[in-house]
Amino acid sequence: MKRLVLFAALVLVTSCQTVYQCPKDGRVFKCSSEPKEVCGIKTVHGEQIKEAFVNSCQSCSLGKVDLTVDGKCENYLAEAEFCPPSYKDVNACTEQFQPQCAWFNQSVKCLVYPWAIEVQNRCYGCIIKNVLFITEGDCPKQV
């Protein structure tokens, strides 16, 4: 039963995948109230704080978050550190060794669990195409 619950949670994780970087130029947005729940993420003292919002536009307009990811915050692993879209422009990473597990988004169709790859550090994980978030340490071996 425990394995089934964990598997169901991981399926939810892979069902919502778009990360959106909020503009930092102080713009005011006209937002619809159409619900498309997002998890708003703000980095405070190096830690990502997650909070639910009605939609991406409203979360960015309020200026409370740096980025959003589609879906409810609780649909993702609690320890998930989402990769900002700006990481995709990084050309080089430090050689610091701090093992991370880089989790792929739904566009990567893995045949077996986990839907992730072990990497040297956060930077190496977040620059990989289709990586949605990282978790600290080695990837889990089984469900």
- Whole-prediction pTM: 0.75
Kindly write down the DSSP assignment for every residue of 21-61, as one continuous string: EPP-S------------EEEEEEETTEEEEEEES-HHHHHH
What residue spans define the domains of the chain? 2-136
d(CA 14, CA 138): 19
Alpha helix (H) residue ranges in the chain: 2-13, 56-61, 122-126
Q: In the chain, what percentage of residues exceed pLDDT 90?
A: 40
Average pLDDT over residues 4-11: 36
Q: pLDDT digit string (tens) for 50-67?
A: 999 988 888 888 778 899
Q: CB–CB of 100/135 below 8 Å?
A: yes
Express each pLDDT in 72-92 by its tens digit: 999 899 999 999 888 878 888
Tell whether the model's pLDDT for residue 68 goes beyond 80.
Answer: yes
